[in-house]
A and B are shown apart, each in its own frame.
Chain A
C-alpha cells in the first residue's frame, strides 16, 4: 500500500515535472523596448542567462501601447506560459485585474507591488544604492558640487536622485547637488546628445562627479564627463568599463538577477513581496578593475560601513515614495 502510494506520488511528481518542462516562462518588456540599454535590457540579459544555462526557451513580448498591457498578459497566460515576468510599475493596475483570472499562473512584477495570491512583487531599494554612490561622489568630489541627471521626471527617478543627494549630504553637508531631468517625453530615456549637453552644463557649474539615472541617455553623460576629465557614475548595470578610470562607480540594480531567479524558480515560484535591498544585494555599487584606483581604501571602508548600517536597519534612508518629498534636494 505504502509502495503504491509512493509510486503514485512519484508518477504525480513526474507528471508535474513534465508539465513544468512544457510550460515556458515568459517576459513582457515595457514600453521602452527590449534594447533600452537599461531596465528592460537588464531583464533581457537575465532571461538570456537563464536560457543559456538551462537550455530552456522562453516567450517574450514588447508591448507598444498602454491598451496592450492587459492584452499581452492575458494572451501569454492563456497560451500557458508560466511564470510570466512583467516589467514596470505601469502594470500594477493591470495585474490586479488579470492575475485573479488565472489562479494557476504565477506572475512576477518587477518594480511594483501587487497583492494577489499568485503574484510575486519585486521592488528595488534604489534609494539605498543611490545613497552609497552619493557618498562616493561626495568623497571623490573636490569642488563640493555633485550632479544628478535623470531621464524623465517620474517618481522612480526622483527616488534615485533623492537617495543620491542624501548620500552626498551625509558626507559633506555643505555640498551642492545639481539636478536635471532630460526631457518630458519617452525620448528622454534615449537621448545621449542631450545627456551630454546637460553634463557639460553641470560641469560648467562646478560639478565634478555626475550620476546619470537616465537609461540610454546616460551613455552621453558618461561620455561628456570622460571628455571633460570629470567623474561619472553609471546606473542599473556595471558601466565602469565604458570609460575605464573615468567612471567612479555604477549604482547596481540587479533586474537581471530578479528575472533569472524567477525563471529558475519556474512554476514553484513563491508569491509575495521581495524588497531587493542592500542586504539581498538587489542594489549596490560596482567595484572592479576599471575603478579600483578611483576608490581609496578609506572611501570603501566608509561606504561599506554605511552599507552595513543600512542593511542592519540602523541607518534609514528616506524613501521618496513614502511621502513624495525629499529632505536633501528639491526637484
Chain B
C-alpha cells in the first residue's frame, strides 16, 4: 500500500520541489542585488505572456519532449541512456542528408522521409552501445557518454570536410531547399482561426512530439513489448525467468530511445535552422535526462516537465536580455530545478509521505 494518493505523488511533490527551487533562486537573485519578484515576472511574461513567447517556449519544449521520452523509455527498461545528445546529433545528420540529397516533391513527404532518417540515424548510434551492453556487459552509461564525444567529433568532420559549402566560414551545411520549410505553429493555428505569432521557431514538429507522447504511452502501457521492457527494468532476473530475452529487450529499448532522440533533429534542423549546424542539439540531450526524471518517466509527466524547461529556457533568455542578471545565473536556476525535482526528490517526498500517513491515522 502506498502512503500517498496518486495525485500527491504526481503533482504535489514536484510542485513543492519546484517552489523550493524557485525560492532559493530568488534568494540567489537577491544576493546579487536584483529584484527576484521583478525577475520572475519578466520570466513569466517573456515566456508565457504572448504567443511570441509561447512559440519559443514550445520550440524548446519540443526538443525536450523528444529527448525526455527517449531517456524515459530506456530508463523504464533499466537502462540509463545518457547518449541522447550524440543520438540527436546523428539524427540531425540524417535529416540533413535527407533534405540535401533527395528531391522531395513536397514538404510533407520530406518531413516523413527526414523523420525516418532521423530516427534511423539516432537508433543506429544507440545500437552500438546497446549491443555492447547486451552482449558484452559494457555499461551503457559509460558507452553512451563516450559515444557523445565520438558523435561530436564525427559531426565536426562531416560539417568541416564534407557538407560545408566551399568558402563558407560557417561550420554548417548548405541551406535546404526553401520549399522544404516546415509550417510554423502560427501557420497551423491560423488555419483553424487561432491567432498565433509567426516570428518564432515553433513548428509542426511539436505535433509529432505530442504524437510520440501518445505513442510511447501506448507502447509502454498497452503492448506486450512495453510490458516486457518494464518487467525487464523492474527485475532483470525475474523477467529472464519469465522467458524474456534480455539481449532482445536491451536492443529494443535502446533502439527506440535512440530513435526518439534522433527525431528531435526535425525540430531544430528542419524546423528552425533549415540547415545542419555544428551544435544543433545544444544540450537538449542532457536536459532530457532531467525531464525524464522529473516527469517520472511517464509521457504526461515528460510533457509537463518539457514545457517547464522550455519556460526556463525562454524565460531565462528574456531575463538575460532585459536585466543585468548574467546568463550563468539562469543556468543556476535550471540546475536548482533539476536538483530539487530530480536528485533531491526524497527530501520533499518523505515529509509529504509522513504528513499523509499522519492525516490517515487521524482519520482512523
Contacts and interface: CB of A to CB of B under 8 A. Distances in A.
Interface of A: 31, 33, 61-62, 64-68, 71-72, 74-75, 89-90, 92-93, 111-112, 152-156, 158, 184-186, 321-324
B76 interface: no
Contacts of B193: none
Contacts of A89: 169-170
A324 B320 CA distance: 37
Given A64-B316, A184-B156, A155 B171 contact: yes
21 contacts: A62-B326, A62-B327, A65-B313, A66-B268, A66-B277, A67-B59, A67-B60, A67-B201, A67-B268, A71-B200, A89-B170, A90-B170, A93-B170, A152-B156, A153-B156, A153-B160, A155-B168, A156-B169, A158-B160, A186-B279, A321-B169
A184 to B, nearest CB: 4
B164 A71 contact: no
Given A64-B317, A64-B320, A111 B169 contact: yes
Nearest to B157: A153
Contacts of A61: 320-321
Given A62-B320, A89-B169, A92-B169, 9 more contacts: A65-B317, A66-B268, A68-B317, A75-B321, A111-B169, A153-B160, A154-B160, A184-B155, A185-B279
B279 A155 contact: no
Interface residues of B, number: 39
A65 B282 contact: yes
Interface of B: 56, 59-60, 149, 152-153, 155-157, 160, 164, 166-172, 175, 199-201, 268, 272-273, 275, 277-280, 282, 313, 316-317, 320-321, 326-327, 330
A156 B56 CA distance: 31
Contacts of B157: 153
A142 B313 CA distance: 53
A112 B59 contact: no
Contact of A67 (B56, B167, B171): B56
Contacts of A67: 56, 59-60, 201, 268, 272
Contacts, number: 84
B330 A64 contact: yes
Contact of B156 (A62, A92, A111, A154): A154
From A65, A66, A111, A112, residue with most partner B Cβ within 10 Å: A65
B156 A321 contact: no
A322 B168 CA distance: 9
A92 B170 contact: yes
Contacts of A186: 279
A282 B155 CA distance: 32
A324 B161 CA distance: 8
Contacts of B317: 64-65, 68, 71
B166 A323 contact: yes
Contacts of B166: 323-324
B164 A184 contact: no
Contact of B171 (A65, A112, A154, A321): A154
A301 B168 CA distance: 35
Given A65-B313, A112-B169, A184 B160 contact: no
A31 B166 CA distance: 24
Given A89-B169, A155-B171, A66 B279 contact: yes
Nearest to B154: A184
A154 B278 contact: yes
Pairs A-B, 5 closest by C-beta atoms: A184-B153, A184-B152, A89-B169, A185-B152, A154-B171
Q: Which of A67, A92, A324 has the most CB of B within 10 A?
A: A67
B60 to A, nearest CB: 7
A74 B198 CA distance: 14
Contacts of A66: 268, 272-273, 277, 279-280, 282
Contacts of B326: 62
Contacts of B155: 184
A186 B313 CA distance: 19
A51 B39 CA distance: 26
B169 A33 contact: no
Contacts of A152: 156
Contacts of B153: 184
A185 B171 CA distance: 12
Nearest to A68: B317
A93 B174 CA distance: 11
Contacts of A74: 199
A155 B320 contact: no
Contacts of A31: 279
Nearest to A65: B282
